[in-house]
């Protein structure tokens, strides 16, 4: 059952989402060749606690770390380790935090140094598909409208859309109704209502959409070993329209990127 949030609860959830946004922005300066994902994980845990929040992933379903760190062919749920990142890698960093008893949860795929144009295109298209999906999150539409939009956009570029892993409702629990697949058919699935909050998170593979889960119970990789990208935002429905609660602006500020991609999804200017 979908649990709509009041305006006051949505603003509390915005605070939770921005803890994650700031954490990803801090990490943006640290993602470089030679650093290990365990080092980044420790930085994130300390930073989240400094913001008066609690790491949302640590211990959730017995996950052992603060961040899901998924390089190259890993799709999601990678466990931080002592392997240094290398020039030309990409890495999805998925982060969660609890503040005000609500979860924030979003993700960004970073380039490690210089990456190939082919890989950069995968990142660009995956991120654009996120906003293509968010545009469909409005009162009266359905889950399938978001999934169809993401799938149609992504597959036109020849990429594989992961089926087994989906976005989700968000609130006092990390995973609430509804599930938000990145594929689907228009007009199908649960209807969107005012006040609902969801995490939309396209997971796109350069090759096949098929994946495999590893024996650690967490790590998921593409079946063909080709790279995968992952981007995620927290979004509420406010006055019938999508309202971003999370932001990539902290990342862009750290990396010197100028972007107005989020402006259409903010009814009020973002206060940084």
Distance CA 68, CA 76 (A): 7
Q: What was the pLDDT predicted at 269?
A: 75
In a domain, 90, yes or no: yes
Distance CA 106, CA 95 (A): 6
Annotation-wise, does 145 bind a ligand? no
In a domain, 151, yes or no: yes
In a domain, 248, yes or no: yes
Backbone angles phi, psi at 230, to 5 degrees: -150, 125
DSSP string, 56-108: SSTTGGG--SSEEEEETTEEE-PPP-SPBP-TT-EEEEEEEEEETTEEEEEEE
Range of the domain at 116: 7-265
Distance CA 96, CA 61 (A): 13
Annotation-wise, does 106 bind a ligand? no
Distance CA 56, CA 45 (A): 10
CA 255 to chain centre: 18
Annotation-wise, does 214 bind a ligand? no
Instruction: Find out whether the peptide bond into 178 is cis, omega within 30 degrees of 0.
Output: yes
Ranges of H-type helices in 86-219: 117-134, 143-156
**Is residue 242 within 8 Å of 194, Cβ to Cβ?**
no
For residue 35, what are the contacts with CB-CB under 8 A and spacing of at least 6? 84, 85
Annotation-wise, does 209 bind a ligand? no
Q: What was the pLDDT predicted at 272?
A: 65
Q: What was the pLDDT predicted at 76?
A: 96
Annotation-wise, does 105 bind a ligand? yes
Paired tokens of 151: 């799938």
For residue 180, what are the contacts with CB-CB under 8 A and spacing of at least 6? 143, 146, 147, 166, 167, 168, 169, 198, 199, 200, 201
In a domain, 271, yes or no: no
**Is residue 90 within 8 Å of 109, Cβ to Cβ?**
yes
Q: What was the pLDDT predicted at 267?
A: 83
Residue 146 DSSP SS3: helix
Distance CA 38, CA 215 (A): 20
In a domain, 272, yes or no: no
In a domain, 1, yes or no: no
Number of domains forming the structure of the chain: 1
Annotation-wise, does 201 bind a ligand? yes
Annotation-wise, does 232 bind a ligand? yes
Residues of the chain with pLDDT under 50: none
* Vertex 115 angle, CA 109 and 116, to 5°: 120
The domain that holds 107 is classified in CATH as 3.90.230.10
In a domain, 170, yes or no: yes
In a domain, 106, yes or no: yes
Crossing angle of helices 117-134 and 143-156, rounded to 10°: 160
Query: What is the pTM for the complete model shown?
Result: 0.97
């Amino acid at each position: 059952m979908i649990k709509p949030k009041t305006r006051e609860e949505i603003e509390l959830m915005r605070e939770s989402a921005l803890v994650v946004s700031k954490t990803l922005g801090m990490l943006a300066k640290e993602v470089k060749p030679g650093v290990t994902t365990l080092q980044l994980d420790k930085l994130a845990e300390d930073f989240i606690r400094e913001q008066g929040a609690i790491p949302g992933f640590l211990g959730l379903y017995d996950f052992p770390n603060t961040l899901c760190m998924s390089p190259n062919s890993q799709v999601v749920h990678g466990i931080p380790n002592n392997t240094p990142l290398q020039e030309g890698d990409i890495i999805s960093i998925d982060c969660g935090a609890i503040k005000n008893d609500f979860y924030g949860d979003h993700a960004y795929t970073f380039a490690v140094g210089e990456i190939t144009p082919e890989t950069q295109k995968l990142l660009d298209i995956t991120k654009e598909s996120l906003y293509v999906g968010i545009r469909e999150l409005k009162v009266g539409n359905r889950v399938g409208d978001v999934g169809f939009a993401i799938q149609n956009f992504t597959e036109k570029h020849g990429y594989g859309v992961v089926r087994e892993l989906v976005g989700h409702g968000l609130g006092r629990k990390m995973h609430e109704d509804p599930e938000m697949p990145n594929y689907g058919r228009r007009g199908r699935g649960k209807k969107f209502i005012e006040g609902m909050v969801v995490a939309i998170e396209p997971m796109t593979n350069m090759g096949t959409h098929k994946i495999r889960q590893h024996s650690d119970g967490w790590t998921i990789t593409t079946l063909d070993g080709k790279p995968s990208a992952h981007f995620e935002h927290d979004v509420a429905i406010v006055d019938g329209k999508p309202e971003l609660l999370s932001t990539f602006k902290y990342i862009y500020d750290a990396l010197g990127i100028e972007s107005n991609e989020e402006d259409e999804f903010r009814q009020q200017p973002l206060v940084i």
